[in-house]
Amino acid sequence: MVDRIRELLEGNLADEAIAELENYRRGGGAMDDTLFYLLGNAWRKKGNWQMAMNNYHEAVAINPESPARHALDIANEILDFYNKDMYNQ
């Protein structure tokens, strides 16, 4: 499963990766920290920071040493830097 999702993400097929992971989860598949991390990456690629961060948080809750910790820190830095008012000048 992990290799398949990584292939989809490397091929810029985030929608397909999300669909496969959501179907896996709905079918009763156990989501570990790696799968939550990959799901977060898929959402990030689609520009949905809220869903990305939600999944990174899930991964970190399962495994505090997950690479999702670093991804979450980076996402927070990006969102802290982003200034919507800058575009209205």
pLDDT, residue 74, reads: 92
Q: Where exactly are the structural domains of the chain?
A: 2-88
Average pLDDT over residues 13-30: 97
Using CA atoms, how far apart are residues 38 and 41, in angstroms rounded to an integer? 5
Q: What is the DSSP letter of 87?
A: G
Q: In whole angstroms, what is the distance from residue 19 CA to residue 69 CA?
A: 24
pLDDT in tens, 31-49: 999 999 999 999 999 999 9
CATH superfamily of 2-88: Tetratricopeptide repeat domain (1.25.40.10)
Query: Per residue in 69-89, pLDDT tens?
Result: 999 999 888 887 765 555 544
